[in-house]
Structure 1
């Protein structure tokens, strides 16, 4: 088996962990959810490089593995394609606490950082770390930086930050070690809403620069 090929691992008695290799986990998860047999699953959880699939019962785990393999064959090597979903526009004031430092490190002006970030093809890859914390793939190569050496102890809601190939919009009240490049008034996590998440895996996100 080539290291570049996806494969399945057992995860407990009712789970399969898909190592996605060249496939986008969000795209794989979306394709699984579209299957009629997915109604018999308890969970479909995409992460950075994997998708966890948990069945309701022990029966038919071999058959489920075959169905998952068929999904992977259909998705194929289209890992550079965004997963299907809605388009959500997020207005951003590009005036984050780290914008000047990021500009110096990547050799661009703050205005050029805003132009390149808004021009990226962003999509929700997965959720983690805290409720409403969406990892958005698609930061342009020219803006990619590692996380800060030391995280801030608390980041306010609406802060837009980047690290690696991803952008996050902080839900508020959490630590954060990403580079803060902007702020949005968009509320992406609301416990009073149904569902509380405005975003879903596979959604396309368009960042739109707005005046301060």
Structure 2
């Protein structure tokens, strides 16, 4: 389905509790478009009070609906959803040293020189599709399909905080040390801002945020 045309209405809208709805979409692109439309309509006062809007890979959860959940479900099924504005909002810039242990492997898989991986990755406009795995971990989309790579056959037992990694269609930055099986291409010199429980919002990379990686000086 083209990103240049409106998507169709949601495939399925299911009750997820007395005040919650789970909307199932056809794919990642449709989910991002629907999530953006929900946020737009809520900001415009076109939705009843909804406490939380939580996107997933192919779902959007509307939780804490103050009233009229059944009526809202019927309305959602009729929504024409325009594609999200790719340049909307200021991009979060993340400095990266492209020196990850999987850099050479990624370059070989992409069919480019090692230095080209940094140029391609830093030249890509990313957007956070959804968050998961760990607090502050955003799943970023933007790389074209021919650059998608599988996870490592053997996960690492420890990936350092700030590691910039690739898996499938996603780029991610590990906000804290943890096990992980993604391809590591670089690291943030200071990963501290990714997750701060004393900040509102705590996650620097929230759903819908635009992200741009900047190659840092070595």
TM over 0.5: yes
Number of residues of Structure 1 aligned to a counterpart in Structure 2: 204
RMSD: 2.2
Residues 41-71 of structure 1 show CA distances to partners (whole Å, capped at 9, x for unaligned) of 13211011111112345x422221134235x
Q: State how far apart, in whole Å, the 2-side matches of 1:175 and 1:5 are.
A: 38
Aligned to 1:151: 155
Relative distance call for 1:84 and 1:188 in structure 2 (3 A) is same
Secondary structure of the residue that 1:24 maps to in structure 2?
helix
**2:122 maps to which of 111, 118, 121:** 118
Q: State how far apart, in whole Å, the 1-side matches of 2:51 and 2:199 are.
A: 23
Residues 62-93 of structure 1 show CA distances to partners (whole Å, capped at 9, x for unaligned) of 221134235x41x24x37x5384331111111
Under a length normalisation based on structure 1, what TM-score does the superposition of the two structures give? Answer: 0.85
Under a length normalisation based on structure 2, what TM-score does the superposition of the two structures give? Answer: 0.83
Compute the displacement of 1:38 (Å). 4.4
Aligned to 2:133: 129
Structure 2: gaps of 5 or more residues: 1-7
Aligned to 1:66: 74
Compute the displacement of 1:37 (Å). 5.0
**1:55 maps to which of 60, 64, 75:** 64
Q: 4+ residue runs of structure 1 moved beyond 4 angstroms?
A: none
Aligned to 2:111: 107
Residues 90-128 of structure 1 show CA distances to partners (whole Å, capped at 9, x for unaligned) of 111110111012112222111111111112220011000
Relative distance call for 1:64 and 1:39 in structure 2 (3 A) is closer
Secondary structure of the residue that 1:129 maps to in structure 2?
coil
Structure 1: gaps of 5 or more residues: none
**2:181 maps to which of 177, 184, 206:** 177
Relative distance call for 1:114 and 1:141 in structure 2 (3 A) is farther
Q: State how far apart, in whole Å, the 2-side matches of 1:63 and 1:188 are.
A: 38
Check the 8 A contact 1:116/1:140 in 2, yes or no: no
- 1:1-212 correspondence to structure 2 within 5 Å: 6-7=10-11, 8-21=13-26, 23-34=29-40, 35=42, 36=45, 38=47, 40-57=49-66, 59-70=67-78, 72-73=79-80, 75-76=81-82, 78=83, 82=86, 84-184=88-188, 185-186=190-191, 187-212=193-218
Secondary structure of the residue that 1:126 maps to in structure 2?
strand
Compute the displacement of 1:15 (Å). 2.2
Check the 8 A contact 2:9/2:77 in 1, yes or no: no
Q: State how far apart, in whole Å, the 2-side matches of 1:109 and 1:140 are.
A: 18
